[in-house]
Structures are given as structure tokens and as C-alpha cells.
Amino acid sequence: MIPKEKELNLIKIYMFICDQYESGLKYSCQRFSNNAYPAFTDQELLTIYLFVGACQKYHKIKDIHLFAKEYLISWFPKLPSYQTFNYRLNLLSEAVKLLSQRLIESFQPADCDSLVSLIDSMPIITCAGRNKTGKVATEITSKGYCSTKNLFYYGMKLHALAFRRKGAIPFPEQLILTQAQDNDLAVFKELWGDKVQDRIIFADKAYSDKEYFKAAFDNQNLEMRTPVKAIKGEPEVIRQREKAANDLFSTAVSRIRQPIESFFNWLNDKTNIQRAMKVRSTSGLLIHTMGKIAIAFISLIF
């Protein structure tokens, strides 16, 4: 048994999942076999995964299944074994990805500043160490380096372009997964560079490119503000003369962009998304990332 308040949340999440499933999720996991209508439905599976992850804060699929077996069996009497539960969940990776997108698009807070955005990335680690070799989901992972943690790792990067919110952590406009080796600036240029306009974006030094953003400002009214990056070969006398102004500007930019780091800290605290060492397949990694994003936003909504 679970408390009455959590029972109500369970019902709300189940009804929400059923609505989303009928409005499009089912087309991402359609079955064309004799088992097209299993006794234990996809809606029930997603409800258990999201409810236990969000309300009970369990991060491992095995722990989620164990909790459901011990406390939710009266609600889900057809609950399968852990092996089947895990296998069925991995089959829903595309549906979970679509659900995460819908949660972000449908529940945007009213206090989001559409003219000011923050951008950054966070590592998703499947294997850590300078001399380590990643062997999981090699088609979507690669070796990268996180300067913030001074860490070489195999895995992916989660990129967030987020609306600034005064006095609160930013709300993501879009979240993108790429290989760990992909450069942050290159990802921005490819995915957002020609689509974002009439915007001021605050970022770290990795996004510095004066010529590119001068053209973007002229053509799209897009301005990228980053801490001042040292110019290679610049005379020391000029560097010292401008140091005070550059330091003040860099400090101001860093203070404004700091909440994007708080967003990543919140996401990791809610779901432990950064640690993917237990993942053993590509679909499992997609569930680990997009599923954890869905769990985090379900916890906000319900």
C-alpha cells in the first residue's frame, strides 16, 4: 500500500500517460504481431516507471520493478518479471523520447523570458578514465573531456538551450543529446544557429566566436555573450590595460549564466542521469537519458 496522496498522483500520471499514448505515443511503439494487445500494457509500464522514479526517487530499473512488485501489485496485477519489464521498457525508447519532448513543450512556465536564454552542456558518463575504452552503445557514444570536472570519459553530452527565469532555475526550450566528442559551439551552430533569432544568449567561453556571432547579430538579431576569452599573441600591455573591464564583464556574464548549472544539478539530483555506467545497450542508454528527463518533469508537474 502507498499513502492516499501518492495514490492520487499515481492515478493522475496513469490518466496523463493514457491520453499521451492515444494522441501519438502508440505510433512510436506499434506492434504488428499476435501480441499486439498484451495483458500488461505499455501505458501501465510507463506509469510505473515514471511514478516510482518521480515520487519514490528510485533511479535503477531493478529498484523500480521491486517497488512495484511489493507495493503496487494490487494496482498492476499483471506485472511481469523484472527481465520482461526491462526488455519491454527498452522497446519504448522512442515513445519515451517523444513523451519528454511533449512534457517540455506543453508545460512551459509563464515567467520564461523569451528574449534571454542560457546554454550549456552536461556529460552523460558510460565509462570514465583517460585510458578507458567504451563498449556500450558505441554508435551514439564517443570519448570526450569535461573541463569542469577535469575528466576524460566515454558517453554522451546533454545540451540545454533554456529560457531565463528571474529568481528560478531556467526552463529548457530544447534538450539535445550528442556524442561526447562533439564541440559545444559546433552543436549550437548546427542545431540552433540559423533557427534562433531576436535573442540574447549567455554562455561560457566554449561558445566564443566573434566573427560568427557578429554576422548572426546583423542577420538574426542574435547576440551571444560569453566571458572574455584571451586573444593568443595579444601584447601584455593591452591585456593589462583592459583587464579590469574584461574581468567585470566576465563576472557579470558568469553570474547570469550560473542558473543553467543549477538546472543540470537539479536534473542530476532528481534522477542521477549523469551516471550511466550500468547501461548495457543503445536502447537502454536512450531510456536512461530521455526517461530520466521525463521523470524529472513529471515530478514538477504532479
DSSP structure string for 223-263: EEE-PPPPPTT--HHHHHHHHHHHHHHHHHHHHHHHHHHHH
Torsion sign (Cα): 255, 257, 260, 261: negative
275 secondary structure, DSSP code: B
Q: Which residue has the cell 526550450?
A: 173
C-beta separation of 45 from 86 below 8 A: no
Contacts (Cβ under 8 Å, ≥6 apart) of 16: 302
pLDDT at 208: 92
The H or E element containing residue 121 is strand 113-128
Distance CA 60, CA 278 (A): 9
The pLDDT of residue 246 = 85
How does pLDDT run across 4-30, given as a tens digit for each residue?
Answer: 999 999 999 999 999 999 998 988 886
Residue 32 — pLDDT band, cuts 50, 70, 90? Answer: low
Alpha-carbon Rg for the chain in angstroms: 22
Residues 39-64: b if buried by 16+ CB within 10 A, e if exposed: ebbbbbbbbbbbbbbbbeebbebeeb
Which of 33-42, 98-107, 163-172, 175-184 comes out lowest in average pLDDT?
33-42
pTM (2 decimals)?
0.91
Does 286 score more than 80 pLDDT?
yes
What is the torsional sign of CA 57, 62, 64, 69? negative
Instruction: Please give the torsion angle defined by the CA atoms of residues 194, 197, 203 and 207, in that order, rounded to the nearest 10 degrees.
Output: 30
Among residues 191, 205, 186, 203, the alpha carbon closest in space to that of 147 is found at 205
Mean pLDDT of 90-119: 94
Q: How many CA atoms lie within 13 A of 290 on its CB side?
A: 25
- In this model, does residue 115 exceed pLDDT 90? yes
Beta carbons of 180 and 143 less than 8 angstroms apart: yes
pLDDT digits (tens, 9 = 90+) for 182-217: 999 999 999 998 899 999 999 999 999 999 999 999
Per-residue pLDDT at 231 exceeds 70: yes
